[in-house]
Structure 1
C-alpha cells in the first residue's frame, strides 16, 4: 500500500467552505501518479514502453466534509488486474478515519494505436506488491 500526505489549503476550498470536488479528482490522479512514479514508472518510462494508462471509470464516495487546514493521509492499492485493465482504490484519511473513498478503473493503451493493449510485464512486475 502506498501512502502520501495532503494538506488542504485556501485554494482547495469551494464556495461552501469545504474541499472542492475538482480537487478530490485532481488528488486521486496525483496519488496514482505518485504511486506509479515511486515504483519507477514515471511518464518517461511509460513513453518508452509506448503505452499508458487512461481512466475508464471513476466512482467516488464523499463520506465527510473536508475543511481548510485539514491534514490528510492518502493511501492507494490495486485490485482486479486483467490483461488490459486494473482497478485502483484510493482513500483519504483524517486522523485515521476514512473521509473519502474512490475506485477507478484504468485501461492500458498503445499510444500509437490509441487502443487497449496488454499491460506490459515490467508494469505488472512493478505493481506486484501493490495488490
Structure 2
C-alpha cells in the first residue's frame, strides 16, 4: 500500500500510526504534541533501522539534537484514521548537521495531512557543545541521504 502513495521522495522509511482518542485535541483533530511525538518515534525507528541506537550515541559521546522544526499541517486527521508516516534524510554534511523530511499520508483519503522538516546538529552528549559527527554517523546517515525528487 505505501508504495502506491504520493510520496515526495523515493524509498521512504515508513511506519503506520493508528489515530486513537489519546491523540486528539479539543477540536477532535490530531494534537500538535501527538505529531511531534510521532516525528521523534519515526526518526528513532529510522536511525535504529540504519544501525544506530542510543547505546551507539552513548559509546561515542555524541547525539543528533533538534536545531529547528518546520511543521505544516495540511489537513486534519481524525479518530480512527490510519496514517502512513514517512521520513528521509535529505541533507547530511558529514560534519555537524543533517536534515530529515517527514510526510504523513492518510490512507482513507490517500492525501498528505502533515509534512515537516527537522534540522539536527551533532553535539557531545556529556556537554551539549556542538561536535563533529563520528564516523559511524557519517557512514549511516550519509549513506541514507536522498536528494532526488520522486
User: If the length of structure 1 is used for normalisation, what is the TM-score?
Assistant: 0.94
Q: In 2, Cα distance between the equivalents of 1:52 and 1:130?
A: 18
Q: 2:68 aligns with which of 45, 50, 57?
A: 57
Structure 1: which 5+ runs fail to align?
Answer: none
Shift of 1:80: 2.3
Structure 2: which 5+ runs fail to align?
Answer: 1-11
Q: 1:110 aligns with which of 95, 105, 124?
A: 124
Aligned residue in 2 for 1:94: 106
Are 1:32 and 1:76, in contact at CA under 8 Å, matched by a contact in 2? yes
Q: In 1, Cα distance between the equivalents of 2:120 and 2:144?
A: 18
Aligned residue in 2 for 1:4: 15
Q: In 1, Cα distance between the equivalents of 2:26 and 2:144?
A: 40
Q: Please state whether the residue corresponding to 1:80 is helix, strand or coil.
A: strand
Q: Which runs of 4+ in 1 moved over 4 A?
A: none
RMSD: 1.1
Shift of 1:120: 1.4
Structure (1/2) with the larger strand percentage = 1
Shift of 1:125: 1.2
Shift of 1:113: 3.0
1:16-95 matches, within 5 Å, as 16-82=27-93, 83-95=95-107
**Number of residue equivalences:** 131
User: If the length of structure 2 is used for normalisation, what is the TM-score?
Assistant: 0.83
